[in-house]
Amino acid sequence: MQATSHSLSISIDFDTIRAAHERIRAYIHRTPVMTSSRLDEASGASLFFKCENFQKIGAFKARGATNAVLALDGTTARRGVATHSSGNHGTAVARAAKLRGIPAHLVMPSNSAKVKIRAVESYGAHVVFCEPTEKAREEKCAEVIEKTGATLLHSFQNENVMAGQGTAAMELLEDVPDLDLVMCPVGGGGLLSGTAVAAKSMQPKIKVIAAEPENVDDAAQSFRAGKRIVTKKKFTIADGLRTNVGEPNFAIIQRYVDDIVTVSEEAIISAMRTIWETIKIIVEPSAAVPYAAIQEGKINISGKRVGIILTGGNVDLDALPWSCSRDR
């Protein structure tokens, strides 16, 4: 993969995040910040939820992908873009490519959910199927790039993607400037690196804490060890967070992030349900991970003003984690 070979040279600063916001603002939603007196009471703090579940394509990934596609020069753009993602990043790249009128090649595992394939195809993207392994995805993607000349848009090891993701925290702090703490989940670290740079640049005393499912706690392990640790993929219901943290992302995380806490699967499901029932909004499991850390008492936020990025709202309503249970 192109991005990995010189990935340590990838970095961002607040200027690149501001430039990203200028570039994408006409093509994304400025999502609202919601509050809940009941959740404030339950947590003993003031919580500010940045609703990226209302974002275009239903997730913050629209920010990074749009920035990366719009930042390409004309000649490069015309050759198209490619990525391997069966999740929100794939849909976001497909949408951004359609906006710019360029081809998008999406490498997706052959066992992808039909609804995800349809979402990508609805934006006119070219879907290329591969075996459902990491290796097969990367090889197939390299093959497509070789054949078409398309540019790889990695879902987190990419400066423009990272900078784009940082615009969510930037908007949050513009709307609620006096936060003590900002929280987001961590998977590959695209959102977390962008969030940390934006938050610490705008408000140097702010704390940035990420939350991660304990089943896939490579980022927390890496953070404690002071070096990047790669773990085997395990199951978590927070499917957006199964990936290992990227090298350039971890470099930024080490420098700017104050802590990474882990949460159980049960806590994620419980937090997701609490958000649905209390705020009356749909969030996906990954989005509930930071609030799970609060609800599980993993961090002390008593009396604090806490911004939480609700990352997305794409869920399969036929397969909810509490479906078919009538025994509460």
Answer yes or no whether residue 58 interacts with a copy of itself by CB under 8 A: yes
Which one among 14, 27, 256, 276 touches a copy of itself, defined by CB under 8 A? 276
Which one among 96, 282, 289, 299 touches a copy of itself, defined by CB under 8 A? 282
Stretch that binds a copy of itself, among 136-144, 230-238, 250-258, 269-277 (CB under 8 A): 269-277
Between CA 119 and CA 105 the distance in angstroms is: 14
> What stretch of H or E contains 210?
strand 207-213
Burial pattern 273-286, b for ≥16 Cβ within 10 A else e, equals: ebbbeebeebbbbb
CB of 258 to a copy of itself, least distance (A): 30
Closest by Cα among 261, 192, 238 to 88: 238
Between CA 212 and CA 187 the distance in angstroms is: 7
CB of 201 to a copy of itself, least distance (A): 29
Distance, first Cα to last Cα, the chain: 48
Tokens matching residue 241: 């967070």
Which one among 205, 277, 302, 303 touches a copy of itself, defined by CB under 8 A? 277
Number of residues counted as binding a copy of itself (CB under 8 A) = 24
CB of 99 to a copy of itself, least distance (A): 13
Cβ–Cβ < 8 Å for 51, 33: yes
Stretch that binds a copy of itself, among 8-16, 164-172, 209-217, 278-286 (CB under 8 A): 278-286
Footprint (CB under 8 A) of a copy of itself, residues 219-248: none
Between CA 162 and CA 273 the distance in angstroms is: 29
Tokens matching residue 113: 């959910």
User: Site mask, a copy of itself, residues 19-38, x = CB under 8 A?
Assistant: -------------x-x----
Answer yes or no whether residue 54 interacts with a copy of itself by CB under 8 A: yes
Nearer of residues 82 and 282 to a copy of itself, judged by Cβ: 282
Which one among 16, 43, 46, 53 touches a copy of itself, defined by CB under 8 A? 53
Between CA 130 and CA 109 the distance in angstroms is: 5
Collapsing DSSP to helix, strand or coil, 276 comes out as helix
Q: List the beta bridge partners of residue 46.
A: 305
Cβ–Cβ < 8 Å for 252, 11: yes
Stretch that binds a copy of itself, among 13-21, 52-60, 88-96, 232-240 (CB under 8 A): 52-60
Answer yes or no whether residue 318 interacts with a copy of itself by CB under 8 A: yes
Answer yes or no whether residue 319 interacts with a copy of itself by CB under 8 A: yes
Closest by Cα among 165, 175, 226 to 203: 175
Which one among 135, 205, 232, 328 touches a copy of itself, defined by CB under 8 A? 328
Nearer of residues 37 and 75 to a copy of itself, judged by Cβ: 37
Tokens matching residue 151: 């540019």
Nearer of residues 73 and 318 to a copy of itself, judged by Cβ: 318
Nearer of residues 90 and 313 to a copy of itself, judged by Cβ: 313
CB contact set of 80 (below 8 Å; sequence gap of 6+): 97, 102, 103, 104, 105, 148, 149, 150, 151
Answer yes or no whether residue 90 interacts with a copy of itself by CB under 8 A: no
Binding site for a copy of itself (CB under 8 A): 32, 34, 53-54, 58, 273, 276-277, 279-283, 313, 317-320, 322-326, 328
